[in-house]
Amino acid sequence: MKLVFAGTPEVAVPALDALIASGRHEVAAVVTRPDAPAGRGRRLVASPVAERAEEAGIEVLKPAKPRDPGFLERLREIAPDCCPVVAYGALLPRVALDVPARGWVNLHFSLLPAWRGAAPVQHALMAGDEITGASTFLIEEGLDSGPVYGTVTETVRPTDTSGDLLTRLAFAGAGLLAATMDGIEDGSLEAVPQPAEGVTLAPKITVEDARVDWTAPALRVDRVVRGCTPAPGAWTTFRGERLKLVQAVPLPDRSDLAPGQLAAGKNNVYVGTGSHAVELLWVQAQGKKPMRAADWARGARITEGERVGD
C-alpha cells in the first residue's frame, strides 16, 4: 500500500522505522507537528519524526492544523491507501479522515477500551495495572473509540517508570503496526468493534496531578512518582520551593514517620506517608540538576521534624 505516516515524538520513530524497513509498503510522506521552540535558546526544532523522515528522504508535511486547505490538497494528490498514526498530537477532522481509501489506523499504547486518551501509559502505572499493551484501531471521530485490528500485551515491571514502559511499548507496537498494515492489505485482518464495558479515560496528566499527597499510602506515592517520570515529573514542596521526585521506593518495614515527615541519615532520606515510609533516591531541587537525595539532604541541612508538602 501507499502510506502517509503521521507522528511527532521520539516514541513514534520505531513505528516509522518498522514501516520503512518492511519493504512491503511505500511510505510516500510523513505528517508531523510544526517545528517547536526547544532548549535555552528557544530555537525552532523539527520533531523527531520529521528528522527521521528527512534522513530517509521522505517528504515531510507540517500543517499548523490538519484541516489546512494546502495540506488536504497535498494529501489528496499523494492519494494514500492508508495512513498509520502514532502520537501525532492533533485531532483529525472528517475531511482528512475521508482521504485514504482504507482510513487512518492509530497505534495506541493501551489495551482498548482501557485508557482512551492522551496519557494511557501514565494512567496505567498510576492505577497499578499489572498488564498493559498496545492496540491498532481504525480512527473515527470519537476519542480512541474505533474498531480494533490487533493488540500486543506487556507486563508492567515493579520499578517501571512511564518512560521505561513507553519505550518497550514503542518497539512492540512498531511490529504490531507493520503487521496491521500487512493484514489490511491482504485482507486477513478485520477491525472488531470495542466492547462497551471496561472503558476508562486517560486525559493528559497535569502538573497538579503530579503533586504527591503524603497522606496517601506509600504504594500510591510510588505509583505517582513512577507514572509521572519523566513527564510531567512528580513533585512536592520543601521550604516553600518545589522539589521534584525523580526516584523513590516504598519501605514496608518503617512506619514511624508522620505523613510528609523527613528523616535524613548519612546515606538515606526517608519520608512518611499515610502507611509506611518511602525512601527518596533521586530528587531535583528548583533550579538544580537531579541529584542523589542524600546529597541534597546534606546540602539542605535538614533538621529534625522538618517536612515536605506543607
Buried b (16+ CB within 10 A) or exposed e, 227-237: bbbeebbbbbb
Residue whose cell numbers read 528528522? 51
The helix (H) or strand (E) run that includes residue 80 is none
For residue 91, say whether it is annotated as part of any ligand binding site. no
Cβ burial of 198 (10 Å; 0-12, 13-18, 19+) is exposed
* Whole-number Å distance between alpha carbons of 160 and 17: 25
Residue whose cell numbers read 523539527? 46
For residue 22, say whether it is annotated as part of any ligand binding site. no
Radius of gyration of the CA atoms of the chain, in A: 22
The helix (H) or strand (E) run that includes residue 150 is strand 148-155
Strand order across the 148-155 sheet: 59-61, 26-31, 2-7, 83-86, 104-108, 131-138, 148-155
* Whole-number Å distance between alpha carbons of 215 and 156: 25
Q: Using an 8 Å Cβ cutoff, are 160 and 129 in contact?
A: no
For residue 166, say whether it is annotated as part of any ligand binding site. no
Q: Would residue 42 be called left, alpha or beta, if left means φ above 0 and alpha means ψ between -120 and 50 degrees?
A: left
CA end-to-end span of the chain, whole Å?
58
For residue 281, say whether it is annotated as part of any ligand binding site. no
**Cis check: omega of the bond before 48, within 30 degrees of 0:** no
What DSSP state is assigned to residue 232?
T
Residue 216 CA: distances (Å) to CA of 106, 137, 145, 199: 36, 36, 33, 26
Q: Which residue positions form the known binding site for (6S)-5,6,7,8-tetrahydrofolate?
A: 110-113
Q: Which residue positions form the known binding site?
A: 110-113
